[in-house]
């Protein structure tokens, strides 16, 4: 039992670290924040398809990323909770591979526009923010995430023991 707990914590920590590194890379390129976001780290939201430890790992990674990139407190809280909700949804849909990116796309498309409009008070309409966040999540989770899922699927037994 002890080894399973250690494995779970190690996997969650690795997912969190990968999420932070990829978010910081996107942030350095100017892609991680503002109205139009393309976080490479969001591709990792398919990982609960493979391991349950990815759920808390994604939450911790998003929380740390939001702290490190200077997000406001409400964004740190609700943005991280949106990622957690998306990760739980992905885990719940793990038997339906092609549906796994939908929960993080939906969770972030619902939460992030309100943060952009009411927390950051960015110029633009709420419908504009829904569109831009949706497109960013579609690219990050839908396209990059599914490419990652298909690649990892080939090596599943070697990577996820």
Distances (CA, A) of 97 to 54, 106, 153: 16, 16, 10
Using only the alpha carbons of the chain, give its radius of gyration: 15
> Mean pLDDT, the chain, as a whole number?
93
Cβ–Cβ < 8 Å for 61, 161: no
Helical H segments across 29-155, by residue range: 54-68, 73-92, 102-114, 126-137, 145-154
* pLDDT tens-place string over residues 106-153: 999 999 999 999 999 999 999 999 999 999 999 999 999 999 999 999
Residue 37 has pLDDT above 90, yes or no: no
* pLDDT tens-place string over residues 62-97: 999 999 999 999 999 999 999 999 999 999 999 999
Distances (CA, A) of 137 to 36, 132, 143, 158: 10, 9, 9, 29
Cα gap 94→86, rounded to integer Å: 12
User: What is the model's pLDDT at position 33?
Assistant: 66
CATH 1.10.1760 fits 2-159, yes or no: yes
Q: Where are the domains of the chain?
A: 2-159
């Amino acid at each position: 039992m002890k080894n399973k707990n250690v494995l779970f914590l190690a996997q969650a920590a690795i997912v969190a670290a990968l999420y932070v590194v990829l978010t910081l890379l996107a942030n350095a390129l100017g892609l991680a924040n503002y109205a139009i976001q393309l976080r490479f780290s969001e591709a990792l939201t398919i990982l609960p398809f493979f391991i349950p430890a990815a759920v808390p790992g994604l939450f911790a990674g998003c929380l740390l990323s939001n702290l490190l990139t200077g997000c406001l407190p409400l964004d740190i809280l609700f943005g991280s909770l949106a990622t957690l909700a998306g990760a739980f949804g992905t885990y719940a849909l793990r038997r339906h591979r092609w549906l796994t990116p939908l929960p993080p796309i939906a969770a972030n498309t619902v939460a992030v526009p309100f943060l952009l409009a009411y927390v950051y008070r960015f110029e633009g309409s709420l419908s504009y923010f829904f569109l831009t966040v949706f497109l960013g999540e579609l690219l990050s989770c839908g396209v990059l995430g599914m490419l990652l899922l298909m690649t990892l699927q080939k090596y599943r037994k070697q990577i996820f023991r």
